[in-house]
Amino acid sequence: MREIIPIYNQIAHQLREKILQGVFSAGEQLPTETNLAQQFRVNRHTIRQAIGLLKNEGWIRVERGRGTFVAARTIRYPIGKRVRYTQTLKAQGWQAQFELLRILEISADIAISKGLEIGFGERVALVERLGFANDQPISVCSGYFPLKRFPDFFEPSHLQILETEKSISRFLYLVYGCDHIRRSTAVSARLVQPQDAILLQLSDNQPILLAESVNLDQGGNVIEYGVTRFRGDRMELFFQNDLTQYH
């Protein structure tokens, strides 16, 4: 006896094929429920069932008040000893870019002073950047650097190198001869804050992955406390052991 496939499953299959064929590309908005219902000659409830199936399978995402969009390919980012954002994305076929949002001097609050192991209220440099993969925003990075360790951080020539390189690791190496080694990273899930939602092109109810890192120089001194907000629908963070110490 021939198996009868539910109509909504057939519709989901056709939409899935269109995504695979590139008819609907990553990030593109799908037609409305009404338009899909007219196209497939079914009621909107059937379309909702098909959309729900595709959402559960990870093919699409539904943003309240905005519509239904094709889910983008996930980027795998290893949390290892080295801070190598650009190289990691490039190895997966993505073009990584950064936009400098702001560079300013601030006083360390409780979280910053704890991360940098300095006194509350000590002066630090804040470097905030927006990270892209193939022109799509995927992260907002806030890096805090102790000015007691880097008293000439705001020298015009140094800032020019930072603005040109847009890479913290390259900046620290070129200006201070510092390595950029990760000591620890804590990852948690949060709802995106309004300002980050604008930068990351997310609606207010979307989840993000928040990574708090403490980074060292080659002498084991704390040189950066970093807080990065990743798009939860685009990034997969995994912890990678450095096995070189066992060889």
**Considering Cα of 161, then 167, then 171, then 177, what sign does the dihedral take?**
negative
What pLDDT is stored for residue 64 in this prediction? 81
For residue 11, name the pLDDT band (cuts at 50, 70, 90). very high
Tell me the pTM: 0.71
H or E stretch covering 100: strand 96-107
Angle at 135 between CA 132 and CA 82, to 5 degrees: 25
Q: Give the pLDDT confidence of 94-103 residue by residue, as tens digits.
A: 788 899 999 9
- Does residue 158 or residue 3 have the better pLDDT? 158
In sequence order, what are the residues at sequence separation of 6 or more whose Cβ sits closer than 8 angstroms to the Cβ of residue 170? Answer: none
Single-letter residue type at 54: L
What pLDDT is stored for residue 242 in this prediction? 56
Cα–Cα distance, 45 to 236 (Å, whole number): 32
Q: Give the pLDDT confidence of 156-193 residue by residue, as tens digits.
A: 999 999 999 888 999 999 999 999 999 999 999 999 99
